[in-house]
Structure 1
Amino acid sequence: MSQLGPWGAEPPQPPRPVSGVSWRRWLAWLILVGAGVALLALLLLRASPWTLHDVDWVRVAWAVLLIPALSAGALYATRRQMLHGAGYVAVWAAIVAVLAVGYLYRAELAEAPQRLRVALGVGAPVATGTHELRVMRSEGGAFVIVGEVNGRRVPFLVDTGASNTVLSPADAQRVGVDMAALRYDQTAETANGLGYGARWTADRLDIGPIRRDAFPMDINKAPMSGSLLGMSFLNTLESYEVRGDQLILRWRE
């Protein structure tokens, strides 16, 4: 039975000695810090090996010593404090990771809006640079470009095997061609045999911002599934190429 003090109350208990940090926590902390430093060095070595040859090793040594010094306070924190701090560390690590990925892929991210417009506008040429158009491949595997002939919309199938640009009879009628005045004196070998066409000159052909005035075309005599954009147009460009599922057209004014 404890002896009461002079005022009839029990004397205060002496403070308990603060227990030191167990060796297990020290060991776990050293392993964690060492693994983090080793992982960082490995990532740098794999990403850009040449950077480690030009790095200032004195600064690296100070950084390696600074990491344990700053993180040693975690050994004396309670479990609740450590969990609370780990949450902040995770949030900042996620932010740093997002910023790092954005920096590494900044060129691809800058082109993302243009690629999205190209993918959504199948058939519609999309300007992706100065004097550059891109067209997405259609579901059928071909490149279809929606252009204008004398101000009327005409879908063209890009055909590098066609020497001339050819209008189907249906598209020619929609454009306003006087079909009765045509002379079908042009002949060409087709998959279905000998084909006949009439020479006709459009006042204007527009493929996106590309404009060609007084552009000669052929109007096919037999019905066609669609009009063809042939080499007579492609040869007026500076260059054209197929890259993946995109047709890239470049031209000069």
Structure 2
Amino acid sequence: MGGDEGMQLAYYVLLLVVIGGAMLFELSGRGGQALRQLVLWVVIFAGAIFAANLWLDGGTRQQIVQGGRIEIPVGRDGHFHLTAQLNGVDVRFLVDTGASSIALAPPDARRIGIDPDSLAYIGRAMTANGEVETAPVTIDELAIGDIVDRNVRAWVIGADLSGSLLGMSYLRTFARVSFEGDLLVLER
């Protein structure tokens, strides 16, 4: 269990203790009216936080990797998001069939050990926000579960990009790219 999962479990246990304690307190009839109302507000607040976390996280649906098959559920925004490890670092991608290649946002490039400020921006690409400069790079290792690719070509975008894009140059490495309901399925 990772650190984030452990923290989430601790949060849910604490939430259960607060709600359970409040119910026992209320049902036992002990305590003054003001204290019971305070506990009720704490329970309401904790429930609102719980609901907000579920909504912001998109529920518990995450990508599933089984052997050479990756299932990516559609996000609340209607797009497919995939988390891959680049040089051992988690990077969240928007799967973009309109992008011709992997486009790294400068912050993601920096996190995986590529200094965007020292690159030669020799290319150009058209984005939804207009033309941008691009710099070719090679990602030493791109891993999604058991699927590992080495020396993967990508481009660092020389402009503000809200996130990195996983484009067709990488999607073409799969034997099958398909949609099954609200899932994007990639298979090798």
After TM superposition, the score normalised by the length of structure 1 is: 0.49
Q: Aligned AA for 1:171?
A: D
Q: Establish whether residue 127 from structure 1 lines up as the match of residue 65 from structure 2.
A: yes
| Structure 1 residue matching 2:77: 3-state secondary structure | coil
CA positional deviation for 1:231:
0.4
Residue 171 of structure 2, aligned match among 234, 238, 243: 234
Q: Counterparts of 1:192 and 1:178 in 2: how far apart (Å)?
A: 23
Q: How does 1:180-219 map to 2 (within 5 A)?
A: 180-219=117-156
Paired positions, count:
130
CA positional deviation for 1:131:
2.0
Q: Aligned AA for 1:233?
A: Y
| Structure 2 residue matching 1:120: 3-state secondary structure | coil
CA positional deviation for 1:120:
2.6
Where does residue 245 of structure 1 map in the other structure? 182
Per-residue deviation, residues 124-158 of structure 1 (Å, max 9, x unmatched): x3134x52111111110100001111000000000
Where does residue 176 of structure 1 map in the other structure? 113
Q: Counterparts of 2:109 and 2:65 in 1: how far apart (Å)?
A: 27
Q: Aligned AA for 1:218?
A: W
Residue 140 of structure 1, aligned match among 77, 82, 99: 77
Q: Is the 8 A contact 1:170 1:223 kept in 2?
A: no
| Structure 2 residue matching 1:173: 3-state secondary structure | helix
More helix by share: 1
CA positional deviation for 1:178:
2.1
CA positional deviation for 1:165:
0.4
Q: Establish whether residue 161 from structure 1 lines up as the match of residue 98 from structure 2.
A: yes
| Structure 1 residue matching 2:110: 3-state secondary structure | helix
More strand by share: 2
- Percent identity at matched positions? 38
Q: Counterparts of 2:134 and 2:163 in 1: how far apart (Å)?
A: 14
Where does residue 160 of structure 2 map in the other structure? 223
* Structure with greater Cα Rg: 1
Per-residue deviation, residues 101-131 of structure 1 (Å, max 9, x unmatched): xxxxxxxxxxxxxxxxxx7342xx3134x52
Q: How does 1:35-74 map to 2 (within 5 A)?
A: none
Q: Which has the higher contact order (CA 8 A, sep 6+)?
A: 2
Where does residue 93 of structure 1 map in the other structure? none
CA positional deviation for 1:191:
2.0
Q: Is the 8 A contact 1:201 1:217 kept in 2?
A: yes
CA positional deviation for 1:179:
2.3
CA positional deviation for 1:202:
0.6
Q: What RMSD, in angstroms, separates the aligned Cα atoms of the two structures?
A: 1.4
CA positional deviation for 1:208:
2.3
| Structure 2 residue matching 1:240: 3-state secondary structure | strand
